[in-house]
């Protein structure tokens, strides 16, 4: 079974200090300005934003962007603050696999479609499993590169829950590669972030990788 290689650049110690809050504040244009920007792009593409089929497109695109990039309005740290300590001593691995994610490449603003596998080794407390999926969702619904998104998910879980270890593997197809440029379809990118016991203990890492199966064994999209 082929497993994703772990970059030598990854550190064994905890990730960088996590700043609270969604993202640094930026001056957000108005809805009217956003819709006018879409009209400009339609004209630049060579069409008439005033024709019947396109007249409502700027409004629809603005609404779609609110959904695509909803992660900017959420704080992933807050999602993990409610935890449970009544676990009857449970200290084995918690794994959530095949979490579908839909993100957008920050270089071309086209979709990244795939799935994430998340695991942690509890120390004293656990968190509702839906919260792990929501952390993935928050970071996915921002302009991203896959490497950074993988690290952000792992670092946030690690720093808030302070478990014995965290593991994150992301498998995704990038439309910036499949629908433009080199036009290579069927390519899946695999990234991983291993912290704590998943980094230092080979048997723990092997157990996690066996649970999620061989990455790219199925299509990410």
Active site members: 105-108, 146, 174, 176
Handedness of CA 50, 51, 56, 62 (dihedral sign): negative
99 beta partners: 116
State the Cα–Cα distance between residues 150 and 143, nearest whole angstrom: 13
Of 53, 51, 50, the residue nearest 36 (C-alpha) = 50
Give strand ranges (E) for 16-145. 83-84, 94-105, 111-121, 126-127, 143-144
158: left (phi over 0), alpha (psi -120 to 50) or beta: alpha
59 pairs with which residues across the strands? Answer: none
């Amino acid at each position: 079974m082929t497993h994703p290689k772990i970059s030598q650049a990854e550190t064994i110690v905890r990730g960088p200090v996590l700043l609270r809050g969604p993202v640094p504040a930026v001056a957000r244009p108005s809805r009217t300005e956003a819709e006018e920007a879409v009209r400009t792009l339609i004209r630049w593409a060579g069409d008439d934003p005033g024709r019947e089929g396109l007249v409502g497109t700027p409004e629809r695109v603005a609404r779609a962007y609110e959904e695509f990039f909803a992660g900017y309005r959420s704080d992933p740290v807050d999602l993990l603050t409610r935890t449970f300590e009544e676990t009857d001593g449970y200290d084995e691995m918690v794994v959530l696999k095949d979490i579908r994610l839909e993100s957008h490449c920050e270089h071309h603003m086209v979709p990244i479609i795939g799935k994430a596998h998340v695991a942690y080794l509890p120390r004293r407390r656990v968190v509702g499993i839906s919260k792990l999926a929501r952390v993935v969702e928050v970071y996915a619904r921002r302009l991203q590169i896959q490497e950074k998104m993988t690290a952000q998910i792992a670092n946030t879980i690690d720093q808030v829950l302070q478990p014995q270890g965290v593991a994150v593997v992301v498998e995704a197809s990038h439309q910036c590669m499949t629908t433009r440029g080199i036009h290579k379809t069927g390519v899946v990118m695999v990234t991983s972030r291993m912290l704590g016991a998943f980094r230092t203990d080979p048997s723990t890492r092997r157990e996690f990788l066996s649970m999620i199966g061989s990455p790219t064994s199925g299509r990410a999209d």
